[in-house]
Amino acid sequence: MRVVNTKGKKFRVPDATILRLPLYLDKLILLQQAGVKEVSSRQLATSLDIKASQLRHDFHYFGGFSKPGRPYQVDKLVPALEEIIGVDVPVPMIIVGAGHLGQGLANYRNFERLGFPLRGIFDVDPKLVGLEIRGVPIRPLSEMTAFVKEHGIKVGVLTVPVNVAQDVANQMVAAGVVGIWNFTPTDIRTPPQVIVRNERLAVGLMCLSFKTKRIGQTEELRGD
């Protein structure tokens, strides 16, 4: 990825920087909600367990978030990052699979705030169809394709049982979805232009396992 910063210089922004931007925004939104007005690179970096120089180096690719000598203004930084990440451009979304996980995600208020308005929820279970979650009705899966086309849905959250994951993903793609947030513990195959983000709960758990179990291990095994 390349950007043109405020002084007209071109930079290739490293992937590592790109991946940190959402973390910065997430933390800044929390600060904003807590009523914090100013934050220094040092404070923000410390709260994220990184070095202040790294944070400034990251921001430097985009340029002009503050002036030398002045800390960052939270209310200016938040919208600036939102624009860079693309959160300010709404992307209509649906959830497919209204089991507990799907319903739990549907209740997650931040989606709208992050530019992903929830437009529909779909399930095959007739007992669920008709229920509403935060004003969004659960519809029969058979109506999904037409709904995606009619409402220009771009992203689908996949929270169906594993055994139907690929089949439902195929339907999403055929209907026109360009991004899939996959919560099922399996791989789904899609055409290259469709972006899949696998939210592998197993991986998160194993990372925790790894760290948890290193507690109490010997110096020999723990190192640094």
**Partner whose binding site includes residue 23, from its own copies, DNA, none (CB under 5 to 8 Å by kind):** its own copies
Measured CA distances, 113 to 118, 167, 193, 224 (Å): 11, 30, 26, 41
Q: Which of 27, 42, 154, 200 binds DNA (CB under 7 A)?
A: 42
Q: Cα(213)–Cα(217) distance, rounded to whole angstroms? A: 7
- Using CB under 8 A, list all residues that contact its own copies: 1-4, 12, 18-19, 21-23, 25-27, 30, 47, 85-87, 89, 91, 99-105, 107-108, 110-111, 114-116, 154-155, 159, 178-179, 181, 185-187, 193, 195, 197, 199-215, 220-224
Residue 57 in contact with DNA, rule: CB under 7 A: yes
Angle formed at CA 75 by CA 37 and CA 80, multiple of 5 degrees: 140
**Partner whose binding site includes residue 211, from its own copies, DNA, none (CB under 5 to 8 Å by kind):** its own copies
Q: Which of 28, 29, 72, 128 binds DNA (CB under 7 A)?
A: 72
Strands 2-4, 10-12: pairing kind: antiparallel
Secondary element (H or E) of residue 196? strand 195-198
Q: Cα(30)–Cα(135) distance, rounded to whole angstroms? A: 26
Q: Cα(24)–Cα(44) distance, rounded to whole angstroms? A: 8
What's the token pair of residue 188? 């789904």
Rg of the chain in Å (alpha carbons): 21
141: amino acid identity, one letter: L
Q: How many residues bind DNA (CB under 7 A)?
A: 28
Q: Least distance to DNA from the beta carbon of 87, Å? A: 21
Of residues 142 and 212, the one with the C-beta less far from its own copies:
212
Q: Least distance to its own copies from the beta carbon of 162, Å? A: 9
Binding interface with DNA (CB under 7 A): 7, 14-17, 39-42, 50-54, 56-57, 59-60, 63-72
